[in-house]
Structure 1
Amino acid sequence: MLLDESGAGIGVADKASVHHASTPLHLAFSSYLFDAAGRLLLTRRALHKKTWPGVWTNSCCGHPAPDEPMAAAVARRLVDELGLADVTLDLVLPAFRYRAEMENGVRENEMCPVFRGRVSGDPHPNPDEVDSFEWVPWSEFAPAVLAGARPVSPWCALQVAELWELGPDPLAWPTASPTSLPTAARLS
């Protein structure tokens, strides 16, 4: 879903056609999955992915389909990428936005709301999407990312900085109202 600067939808394009040197602003999402102990499910992107192959990042990212509610899109990708169903999701950063550029000139340009999820048990990653995973204590991971000692995707580093401001316990982060989402994402 392509967006204008206010977050309103202005059209659609195939995902494969929008990630290049002049990537238009579009709608995406990120999710951070935690277990009961507050450990983050960290994933390593598949080595053949067009953007940031082999890079460690948050649990799952993706793009909603046109007219697909954000929470439904996140749930769909959690099943597709990680084999995880019935995840409790909470919106925590409704207005996150970033731009990033790879060394080869491919750019990301996204309004990317962030969701927190709670899970039990290990994922069953789809090798087309995820190379590997690990569980890391948030209390160790976030400070390491903030100090530059733990390399992660550019969006993950920016999101961790904002998430850390919500408090040190990810299970206690406040939830945001869906009315704070970009206009194009405010579907029921």
Structure 2
Amino acid sequence: MGEKIVLLDEAGQPTGTAPKAESHHKNTPFHLAFSSYLVDAAGRVLISQRAHHKASFPSVWTNSACGHPAPGEGLREAVTRRVRSELGLDVRDITLVLPGFVYRAEMNGVVEHEWCPVVRARVDEEPVRDPDEVEAFEWRDWQGVQALVHEPGASPWFIEQMEHLVKLGPPLEWEQADEGLLPPAIRW
């Protein structure tokens, strides 16, 4: 049956679902997603490179893990599921940071058009990557994460998110945002 994405109208109301694999193309519909930044006790952030063979945005360097909440799934549940699947990590202290982040980007004829809340989560272990999803990863201090914006191959959503995140200070200082600013299609 395959993974489904939640389709949205411009106000963030759900308008239906669609198969994920068949929905990412030059006319990708607006849909629900999330981005996560995983932070260790030292304040380092895990950044990841998407697998080279992925259909959308292969090989780009980006935040720790991204994904799509399943229909009816809460945001914290989706983050927990996807981080465990992609990186073999259990998360704790999930903090909603940018509830209203929306972007549109294109690469190789494939468009991403998402309402993509951004979260930070704490982790205590080393990742074990799923090679179907993650090509490589590395831990960076906050200055190193900010420097990724200027490196070739940084994802467009990461670059846009960083415009907002640098204003919040180091990741261990990011505070919980208002859950009421999430799109109506998802619960916290």
TM-score bracket relative to the smaller structure: over 0.9
The aligned counterpart of 2:142 is: 138
Matches within 5 A, 1:111-126: 111-126=115-130
Instruction: Give the one of 144, 163, 166 matched to 1:164.
Output: 166
Q: Output the CA distance in 2 between the equivalents of 1:5 and 1:86.
A: 30
Instruction: Give the one of 40, 46, 62 matched to 1:41.
Output: 46
Instruction: Give the one of 3, 13, 18 matched to 1:13.
Output: 18
Whether the aligned pair in 1 keeps the contact of 2:91 and 2:121 (CA below 8 Å) is no
| TM-superposition CA deviations, 1:3-29 (whole Å, max 9, x none) | 000000000001111110011100000
Matched, 1:90 2:95: yes
Whether the aligned pair in 1 keeps the contact of 2:83 and 2:91 (CA below 8 Å) is no
Aligned-pair CA distance for 1:55: 1.2
1:86–1:38 Cα change, 3 Å: closer
Q: Output the CA distance in 1 between the equivalents of 2:16 and 2:88.
A: 30
Aligned-pair CA distance for 1:150: 5.7
Whether the aligned pair in 2 keeps the contact of 1:43 and 1:132 (CA below 8 Å) is yes
Q: Output the CA distance in 1 between the equivalents of 2:22 and 2:7.
A: 12
Instruction: Give the one of 13, 34, 37 matched to 1:32.
Output: 37
Q: Output the CA distance in 2 between the equivalents of 1:145 and 1:12.
A: 34
Instruction: Give the one of 108, 112, 116 matched to 1:108.
Output: 112
Instruction: Give the one of 3, 8, 13 matched to 1:3.
Output: 8
| TM-superposition CA deviations, 1:115-152 (whole Å, max 9, x none) | 0011122111111111111001112321x245x24641
Unaligned runs of 5+ in 2: 1-5
- Counterpart residue type for residue 172 of structure 1: E
**Corresponding residue SS for 2:15:** strand
The aligned counterpart of 2:3 is: none
Q: How many residue pairs get matched?
A: 183
- Counterpart residue type for residue 130 of structure 1: V
TM-score by length of 1: 0.93
Q: Output the CA distance in 2 between the equivalents of 1:65 and 1:149.
A: 32
Matched-pair identity in %: 53
TM-score by length of 2: 0.93
